Amino acid sequence: MNIQEITNKTQWQEFFDEAGSPSFLQSWEWGELEEKMGYEIIRLGVYNKNELTAIAQTIKIKAKRGNFLFIPHGPIFSISNLKCQISNKKYIIAQFLNFLISLAKKENYSFIRIAPVFEDREETRKIFQDLGFRKAPIYMHAERLWVLDITKSEEQLLTEMRKTTRYLIRKSERDNVIIERRTDEKAVDDFWKIYEETAKRENFVPFSKNYIKNEFEAFNKTGSALFFFGKIETGPVVAAALIIFTKSTAFYHQGASIHTKVPVTYLLQWEAIKEAKKRGCQLYNFWGTLLPGRTPKSWSGLTLFKQGFGGHQIDYLPTQDYIISKKYCLTYFWEKFLAWRRGV
């Protein structure tokens, strides 16, 4: 096996789609977003002779808390390798690791961080333990997710929802809630107004407006992003969401709302689910939910909201760190402080 950098977008995207497109963080578009935010990207592929068997989009992060190489929700394996023995998966990950260790030492990065898309099991934990990884002090992206199978009929999906959720969807329809789908330039401004207010109310640090803009533009170029806005007839917008689509899955990645007596957010999610079905997605991913010890305790209400639509929980292996330099200690203690400040 050997590792090569992949610069051909079509080759990358075809492999990503055929492998099940499990997370938009390994899509070509996400790499473009990271580049817009000032980070350098290297897209790596492991080849067995001439056959591409796994990919890993890697971000070179230089920050105050430390410099590191980061694989978000990866590597992504081909379907045949995804079903292979643990020893084979470990071997492929070791190929990426060896490449990244050499790169880290050459370019002065103090550690390597991987947020795997392996389910959290003893056998998958052992892969990283045996390779010398340790659990990262904080998560970078969702580690516990709530996912809904949307291959079922709309009637069945409604039936399998929590009774209260189903009632509130119907109530929103009776209360003349209007859900708009938008991709116009002003959509970012309108989303930001509600998002900023949500951050103040819920006391969390929001993404910057520039980040939201770049995320939307990166995915909108390929028709893979859509804003949903909810309002009561001719009234102001009181709920919004940015949905990201891959071939297999719709991701509820950004959301915002203003408290009202009318449950606009429930109908908004239902319309997003129906849009995902129209696009041929098999899954609707509500993204992160409460994971004690890793996420803020304040996520409990949001988690109940997401679970009300039916579905199941997926726990990914915790984010893993491989230490290159003693400088990692500074990052470790700083991130432990960040976790405390977030209310974890």
Domain map of the chain by residue range?
2-141+317-341, 145-315
Residue entry with tokens 């899954």: 283
Q: Which two tokens stand for residue 138?
A: 């904080």
CA distance 244 to 141: 15
14 half-sphere exposure, CB direction, 13 A CA radius: 8
Helix (H) or strand (E) holding 296: none
Q: Say whether 335 sits in a helix, a strand or coil.
A: helix
Q: Which two tokens stand for residue 324?
A: 């290159």
pLDDT digits 0-9 by tens, 271-308: 999 999 999 999 999 999 999 999 888 889 999 999 99
In terms of DSSP H, where are the helices of 7-141?
9-18, 28-36, 79-82, 86-107, 122-130
Task: Report whether pLDDT(83) > 80.
Answer: no
CATH number for 2-141+317-341 (one of 3.40.50.620, 3.40.50.2300, 3.40.50.12140, 3.40.630.30): it is 3.40.630.30
Mean pLDDT, residues 144-156? 98
Into which CATH architecture does domain 145-315 fall? 3-Layer(aba) Sandwich (3.40)
Task: Report whether pLDDT(86) > 80.
Answer: no
State residue 141's pLDDT score. Answer: 95
pLDDT digits 0-9 by tens, 112-145: 999 999 999 999 999 999 999 999 999 999 999 9
Main-chain phi, psi angles of 218, to 5 degrees: -60, -45
Helix (H) or strand (E) holding 316: none
CA distance 289 to 299: 7
